[in-house]
Amino acid sequence: MRFFNTVGPINPRKHYFLPKRLSWAQLDDFLEKEYYFLLHAPRQSGKTTAILEYVRFLNSRGEYTALYLTTEPAHVAANDIERTVYWLLDQLASQIKIQLPGEHAIYTHAQMLLEAVPLQENSFSRFLQFWSENSRKPLVLFFDEIDGLVEKSLIFILKQFRAGYTNRPAHFPQSICLVGVRNLQDYKMQSLEEREKGMLLSPFNIISDALVLRNFTPAQVRELYLQHTNETGQQFTDEAIDFAHYVTQGQPWLVNALAYQACFRDIIDRTVPITKDVLEKAKEQLILRQDTHIESLVDRLQESRVRGIIDAIVSGSEPASFNPDDIQYVRDLGLVKEGSWEIANPIYQQVIPRALTQVMQGLIGAQTASYVDSQGKLITSKLMEAFTQFFREHSESFSSKIQYNESFPHLLLMAFLQKVVNGGGRIHREYAVGRKRLDLFIQWKHQRIVIELKIKYGEETLSKGLEQTADYIDKTRADEGHLLIFDRTQGKSWDAKISNELVSYASKQIHVWTM
């Protein structure tokens, strides 16, 4: 039985698989035009699988000699050029032996270079020249994980490609594709020496194009899931498939992980259909478990170039003058949607605040039973009163535990709510930079509760907040609405900040809390 893969490249014999996610016609055109080009997408988007599929096709067609290799073993070399060259040559030799067993003379030449002491820095480019000159067919190479090489090593390798570029295809590979997370067109880099001289390097200005491997479309999610149905008989409801695309926005690892959790851990009886409710529970498991994919994203949240942007999005602050390279970086990582200021998908929207408040949640002693009445109804006013006191007592000590200054109050509330609502409800978050607000929607059994969070910027904060809360109540058909305004005025006493009143606005009863 095949299954949904969440670890490493897809093997079509073992895993459900979507073929030809890249346009082979476009790739063929690039090769014919002797392009050097890029392919980039966030981690675990299927880049390696797509390239391996195309390389096998090229070699079966017989028009080119094509090779895939990963530069990952060379990442340990850091800025050591000689070690970088050694590991790249070693990978070339290894993959030639595996993928192109007929290229015995080329493999032998690579081994000879590796045995040289000391290894020459130009051995890498000289090998590519030798192979190109002795190949019966034009040479096409795909270098994966290229942006894992750091400063000096990456610059050196890119300069080697540029030096050989004008000699292609007779004396250098006809086409080279660099595969990674980053688009090397979009940022500059400097070696230490160049930085001291005030020089800025455009690292790969010989490229002709940059391809992006897009997320799955709704139709592709359906196609992938129906492979499981066709092989096992287990049905996915239409609502479940639509939900899967919505919460993942087609991110390939999430699409596969969600279905794997549902079909191979939660519901292994193939007569039981996969419904939206099943996938909702599977989603919660993914978030709580924080597998490698999610854990790697969480690690990025502590990087300074990521922190400022995510801080602004969570708090709803106006966009600051972010470095354009930092903006592209968070988009290349897949944390933020391309062309917008929104977190990439609803799963990441939940992962990010939970990850940032994990330490806080461990220190919060709130218990669900304290805020539920005898009929099992959540008493939101009692919950908010408790948070007000908690915020008054602990916000200063907690603020030193997190570097997200703008969104700190929002994160602390979410940590407090998560601790309570985990006992029987769900929190939905909606945030985007520039709106000066964070929308929380709590589903507790049959209750629907809206909480609107805002930072006080002036007297208009209250009127604007009431309008936004009323609109959000309408949108979600909520039973009750709360507007929470954080007053961060320096030197103002807690007694002056804290208040609570019930306000009638646009025929809605809204609880207004300030602190």
Across the range 18-27, mean pLDDT stands at 96
pLDDT exceeds cutoff 90 at 355: no
* CB contact at 8 A, 477 and 465: no
Note the pLDDT of residue 7: 92
Q: How far apart are CA 257 and CA 279, in angstroms?
A: 10
> What distance, in Å, lies between the first and last C-alpha atoms of the chain?
57
Task: Tell me the average pLDDT of the chain.
Answer: 90
- What tens digit of pLDDT does each residue of 114-160 get? 998 888 889 999 999 999 999 999 999 999 999 888 878 888 898 89
Which numeric CATH code is attached to 218-289? 1.10.8.60
Residue 425 CB partners (closer than 8 Å, separation 6+) = 378, 442, 443, 444, 445, 447
Which numeric CATH code is attached to 24-212? 3.40.50.300
Residues of the chain with CATH 3.40.50.300: 24-212
The count of C-alpha atoms lying within 13 angstroms of the C-alpha of 138, restricted to the half-sphere facing its C-beta, is 17
pLDDT exceeds cutoff 90 at 497: yes
Phi/psi for 55 (5° steps) reads -65, -45
Residue 62 identity (one-letter amino acid): G
Residue 244 CB partners (closer than 8 Å, separation 6+) = 221, 225, 236, 255, 258, 259, 279
Across the range 341-348, mean pLDDT stands at 91
Phi/psi for 499 (5° steps) reads -155, 165
Single out the residue of 285, 288, 295 nearest to residue 260, CA to CA.
285
User: Which H, E and C letters describe 161-227, residue by residue?
Assistant: HHHHHCCCCCCCCCEEEEEECCCHHHCCECCHHHHHCCCCECCCCCCCEEEECCCCCHHHHHHHHHH
Note the pLDDT of residue 186: 53
Residues of the chain with CATH 1.10.8.60: 218-289
Q: Quick one: pLDDT band at residue 283, thresholds 50, 70, 90?
A: very high
Note the pLDDT of residue 370: 83
Give the predicted TM-score (pTM) of the model. 0.88
